[in-house]
Structure 1
């Protein structure tokens, strides 16, 4: 019987596809060099043993080098759609849904850790792996679903930025002008990307810090009740009056495009995926930095929820608050000061909108390149991805410029659009990370597999509740009801297909090579 280390090494899947001209998330020249990446595993036994399966000892310096992808991923937990869900949950339910926000963030962390694990262990991101695994019709359909979800999210994010710009300009710049200004962030993204991944990550660190400072300032200005806050986090409470907001809190945490994005972002580090110890090391560091990033995002979301809980819970305005009028209502309640609270809110909202639109562009590049294997220059892919969202967003801004209520209704439709797409990111992810012929020794074990599927089913059911609740009130008439029924049947059938295919993966042994690490 072979030694355990040799057996594990035999099971390690070489992430290189047979074809050398496949589209890659990052070129080798773009990747961040990790100390010792090209050396045997230090601390993993004999230094001459390149087949060591043990991760090298922990290093703060290495953690710093791995830090970045998790924070870019965490932006999806802080986008304007999430902020709107936070403020509505606080205004309508008070502090009672903070525990749900905590557990929703934990579920989101689990999904993102699986996404990162997939990217590190295979050397390919989710969109690329879906291209290899699924037949053409299913692959194209998955791509369309991912693009639709991305466009829907991007519309919300760009509109959020445009609202903030309108506030900061004292109404001089209309929504459509804010949309045009926000579209220019694509060029900022392209400029920074040319100067290295770490420069782009530094920009996001600044934007997250801006959000944290802005909403912490609002937290200090409004002085929420500390005892009620703590009870809200620790004591589960859900009533019939707040169930819709509770479902919204969970539903807006998982963003379909973010699942694709994280599996690509982790490939920005130079990792020798033929060495089990190095892969384990990368997974460990990415887990730490992702947990830290989502802890910060949870605190920021908590700030927003508690500010609006303190200000508007139990008032007549609670049911009328949205992104468009939130700053105005805060200003009316708390007035001016050294820096009027409406501008503090707008600065935080602008940082959220700008950062999330850039990550949306980034995700769009990977989704398009991965599913279609398009060997286009990154600037061209970025412009195509940005155009998909900016053109419909500009139309939305022009139509709803003077109609705040209609803009809020549009956001409800966009939230539903996101909910519909979630299974088409979660199911392929869970099927892929469960398979030995794809993940090698890094496939998830039975306990984690059960937990992951339970979380996925819960998320899908929660979003299913949103769909049923929404369409039951919006859809009427025989013809429209029939159309919805047909699409629902096709939707469920595709989900069943994805799950059943996940049980019988068969393409990967033909597409991937199993190579033992012989030191070559």
Structure 2
């Protein structure tokens, strides 16, 4: 090959990379308003140090532990959605009603969630834009507004569950002195804590979340050690698939709560917190490789924490008369009655873990709200103002909920079921755009997913949507006794699927 041909080929590849990612020049020349709109300003991004900056365009640098450490962070923030109070309630109910028999499903649901989140990260790294921004660019205005509305609804529903979970934990740790509404107001202040941490840099924020995840891990591990679940039953539950007719609803809940709509949007934005060279395919592929490793580790840790919770309640309440009545509100009381006190009573261990789960998930919810609003609407707002607006969307209805349902555990459980239904309705409006765009060559260029991975991703998405559809159908048939709403949701989902293709 002549040098002239080589130069032409390199020039053509450079043009292609610029199509995939915005060039540094265009970023630096943007206006201050554009910088306010961007998820991360250039000065906020973590620089990935290269040992050799003269490598080829397509060359992926060798593995480096130091680089893996620099890329570590976004996956752990993403994993918080797998550990929020809604998931913990699903875990404890699965353990109490189904025993150890659904642990295998928890494992494979986490694997399916990992696949979806890795595709979300892929979109963010390759295009340099988050999923909400891409939806604004690729879909017509009516579809963009509907998708934004659905994403906001999902976020509000998730945030109500998370804030209520934190408020319950505060009520436990204060010995009931603080009512539910007071816990909600205290939890609402995490918006300002988040803004304070973010002002000190992304690594400080990621370190704070690492502490919260470690708090959950230690708390639920202590519960696991205290209750001494059966190791044999645990191993059989993870390795041997079992599904009984009486545990179908719990099985649906295990899978249904893994994919959180707002988390799909969040991860595609978080990965842009690292500064990579968009002019080199090798650097883009390197980032994808490291993000795949750290996301896998993060979700493995989340699986272990969820496993701790499920097995604790399987050991303590499976086959008992309390099994069908246990929920997030009364779980701590049941644990205390079953296992008593000690140096640190199990009630408070549960409360500490639940508080860490609620606080971390509400802060990531605030973070996701910024990206969703800014991406879909293209608002040029300062980050603190955008965070305050998105926080208010969720906190106001949550305070109303806390005041209305403060004295009734049964009412809170019914409310939680309605919120799970709300989350289930939003799943297609996040998954369909993601899978459509990640396989689109005009958006992803050479980094679009291949046909095998595309079929696998659509199979997983279809399975998750069908499972959540079953939850919807079951709930509305038993509670509402009408199918019109389900028909409307299915029609809307089909319309978006056709539009995306």
Q: TM-score range by the shorter chain?
A: over 0.9
1:420-439 to 2 correspondence within 5 Å? 420-439=425-444
Name 1:456's counterpart in structure 2: 461
Q: Provide Cα deviations, 1:234-260, integer angstroms capped at 9, x if missing partner.
A: 000001100000000000000000000
C-alpha distance in 2, partners of 1:183/1:165? 13
**d(CA) in 1 for partners of 2:334, 2:97:** 15
Residues 205-248 of structure 1 show CA distances to partners (whole Å, capped at 9, x for unaligned) of: 00000000000000000000000000000000001100000000
- The count of aligned residue pairs is 487
Whole-Å separation in 1 of the counterparts to 2:488 and 2:138: 21
Residues 92, 242 of structure 1: 8 Å contact kept = yes
2:106 matched to 1:106? no
Q: Which residue of 1 aligns with 2:41?
A: 27
Match of 2:308, SS state, is helix
**Offset at residue 15 of structure 1 (A):** 2.3
> Hey, what does 1:181 align to over in structure 2?
186
Match 1:193 to one of 195, 198, 203: 198
| Shift >4 Å, 4+ stretches | 1-11, 17-22
Instruction: Show CA shifts across 1:124-149 (max 9, x none).
Output: 00000000011111101100000000
Paired position in structure 1 for 2:327: 322
Q: Contact conserved, 1:9 with 1:276, CA < 8 A, in 2?
A: no
Please tell me whether the aligned partners of residues 8 and 441 of structure 1 are also in contact (alpha carbons under 8 angstroms).
no
Separation in structure 1 between the aligned mates of residue 285 and residue 298 of structure 2, nearest angstrom: 20
Please tell me whether the aligned partners of residues 472 and 486 of structure 2 are also in contact (alpha carbons under 8 angstroms).
Answer: no
Which residue in 2 is equivalent to 1:300? 305
CA distance in 1, matches of 2:146, 2:91: 32
How well do the aligned residues superpose, as a CA RMSD in angstroms?
Answer: 1.7
Alpha-carbon deviation of 1:10?
5.6
| 2:497 match | 499
2:275 paired residue number: 270
Give the whole-Å Cα distance in 1 for the aligned partners of 2:403 and 2:469: 31
Give the whole-Å Cα distance in 1 for the aligned partners of 2:380 and 2:434: 24
Alpha-carbon displacement from aligned partner over 1:282-338 (angstroms, at most 9, x marks no partner)? 000000000000000000000000000000000000001001000000000100001
The counterpart of 2:364, out of the listed 338, 353, 359, is 359
Distance 1:280 1:502 in 2: 26
In structure 2, how many angstroms separate the alpha carbons of the residues matched to 1:139 and 1:435?
18
Structure 2 unaligned runs (5+)? none
Q: 1:445 to 1:10 in 2, by over 3 A?
A: farther
Q: Return the alpha-carbon distance in structure 2 between the equivalents of residues 228 and 114 of structure 1.
A: 34
Measure how far apart 1:11 and its partner are: 4.4
Partners of 2:22 and 2:278 within 8 A in 1: no
Deviation of 1:494 (Å): 2.8
Query: How far did 1:8 drift?
Result: 6.0
Aligned 8 A contact 1:14 1:274 in 2: no
Map of 2:388 onto structure 1? 383
Q: How does 1:115-514 map to 2 (within 5 A)?
A: 115-476=120-481, 481=482, 485=484, 487-503=485-501
Cα distance 1:5–1:299, how it changes in 2: closer, same or farther (>3 A)?
A: farther
Of stretches 450-459 and 16-25 in structure 1, the one that deviates more from structure 2 is 16-25
Among 67, 77, 81, which residue is 1:62 paired with? 67
Q: Residue 106 and residue 316 in structure 1: after superposition, are their counterparts in 2 closer, same or farther (change >3 A)?
A: same
- Determine the C-alpha separation between the residues in 2 that align with 1:462 and 1:179: 31
Cα separation, 1, equivalents of 2:326 and 2:291: 37
The question of 1:83 aligning with 2:88 is answered yes
Q: State how far apart, in whole Å, the 2-side matches of 1:74 and 1:140 are.
A: 27
TM-score w.r.t. structure 1 length?
Answer: 0.91
- Residues 71 and 287 of structure 2 are in contact (CA less than 8 Å); yes or no, is this contact kept in structure 1? yes
Tell which deviates more after alignment, 394-403 or 97-106. 394-403
Q: How many angstroms apart in 1 are the aligned matches of 2:242 and 2:216?
A: 28
Q: Deviations over 1:256-294 (max 9, x none)?
A: 000000000000000122210110010000000000000
Q: Match of 1:150, SS?
A: helix
Pairwise CA distance, 1:9 = 5.5
Structure 2 length-normalised TM? 0.94
Counterpart in 2 of 1:43?
A: none
Greater fraction of residues in helix? 2
Whole-Å Cα distance in 2 between the matches of residues 195 and 293 of structure 1? 23
1:502 to partner: Cα distance: 2.6
